[in-house]
């Protein structure tokens, strides 16, 4: 069973995944939290600093379990039975309270650092973040539904490449597509709506003046974050994938790009 966790208004969680507080990411983290704290009660998860263990293992579902069940079911049972490790329960409590989630990380090998992926693996458990069927529609409470509806996420990512290299025709692939597994496959999966990405390009080559420009740009973005429109992904419960896990053949026929999962304007 999935329990929906209503967020506490005016509460934010900032998850930071960079090993150095003396880095550009460290500076953005400090300045961003300070800016946001003027309007939100901000809690933080500085994953490297707190020594968060990203490895999902037996401690997450109970050592010695012999039942032939998959890992998601075992961890979900541990959540339901109050047996999750202390560090995971602490992260879930912070996330359950937050109406705004900020995920900040450098782009490493075209994805988030392993420590953030491990935070997702261990914290977004069955029962807490997703789970049972909608009793009226008979579809899983996922993709726009689930335990964490009512939240908005801002993804802040630094990239060593310029906007063309990770743009729509870039050799490294479009950043929107590279992070689709995070914005859609993780956040939207558990009901969290996302804002447009906040990207710092050429992050390894910025001089002091350019660093200050990026700090100011992030602060300015955070000042207006409440008024920003969210991405309008299609919800599973609305019938666009009825009878299948693929988009219905009559919707955007012939297209196979990831953009088909975004609702058209209007």
pLDDT of residue 22: 85
Q: What is the C-alpha separation between 119 and 105, in angstroms, rounded?
A: 13
Q: What is the C-alpha separation between 151 and 195, in angstroms, rounded?
A: 11
pLDDT of residue 138: 65
pLDDT in tens, 227-254: 999 999 999 988 898 776 899 999 999 9
Query: How many other CB atoms sit within 10 Å of the CB of residue 132?
Result: 14
pLDDT of residue 123: 98
Angle (deg, nearest 10), helices 24-36 and 208-223:
30
pLDDT of residue 175: 94
**CB within 8 Å of 17: residues ≥ 6 apart:** 47, 48, 103, 104, 105, 106, 112, 113, 115, 116, 119
pLDDT of residue 139: 72
Domain 11-261 in this protein, CATH class: alpha beta
Q: Which parts of the chain sit beneath pLDDT 70?
A: 1-2, 63-68, 133-138, 244
Cβ atoms of 101 and 15 closer than 8 Å: yes
pLDDT of residue 131: 82
Q: Between the CA atoms of 211, 200, 103 and 190, what dihedral angle is there, to the nearest 10 degrees?
A: 170
Q: What is the C-alpha separation between 265 and 243, in angstroms, rounded?
A: 25
pLDDT of residue 70: 85
Cβ atoms of 144 and 191 closer than 8 Å: yes
Q: What 8-state DSSP symbol labels residue 158? A: E
Q: What is the C-alpha separation between 219 and 221, in angstroms, rounded?
A: 5
pLDDT in tens, 106-117: 999 999 999 999
3-state secondary structure of 111: strand
């Amino acid at each position: 069973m999935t329990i929906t966790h209503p967020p506490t208004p005016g509460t934010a969680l900032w998850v930071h995944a960079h090993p150095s507080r003396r880095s550009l990411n460290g500076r953005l983290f400090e300045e961003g939290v300070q800016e946001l704290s003027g309007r939100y009660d901000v809690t933080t998860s500085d994953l490297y600093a707190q020594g968060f263990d990203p490895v999902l293992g037996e401690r997450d579902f109970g050592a010695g379990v012999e039942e032939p069940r998959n890992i998601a079911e075992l961890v979900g049972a541990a959540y339901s039975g109050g047996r999750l490790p202390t560090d995971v329960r602490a992260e879930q409590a912070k996330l359950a309270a937050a109406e705004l989630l900020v995920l900040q990380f450098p782009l490493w090998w075209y994805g988030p650092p392993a420590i953030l992926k491990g935070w997702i693996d261990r914290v977004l458990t069955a029962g807490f973040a997703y789970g049972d069927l909608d009793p009226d529609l008979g579809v899983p409470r996922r993709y726009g539904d689930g335990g964490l509806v009512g939240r908005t996420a801002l993804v802040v990512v630094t990239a060593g490449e310029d906007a063309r290299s990770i743009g729509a025709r870039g050799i490294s692939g479009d950043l929107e597509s590279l992070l689709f597994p995070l914005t859609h496959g993780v956040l939207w999966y558990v009901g969290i709506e996302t804002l447009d990405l906040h990207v710092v390009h050429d992050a390894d080559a910025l001089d002091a003046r350019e660093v200050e420009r990026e700090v100011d740009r992030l602060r300015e973005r955070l000042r207006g974050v409440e008024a920003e429109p969210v991405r309008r992904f299609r919800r599973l419960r609305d019938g666009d994938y009825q009878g299948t896990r693929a988009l219905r053949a009559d919707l955007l026929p012939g297209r196979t790009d990831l953009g088909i999962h975004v609702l058209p304007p209007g």
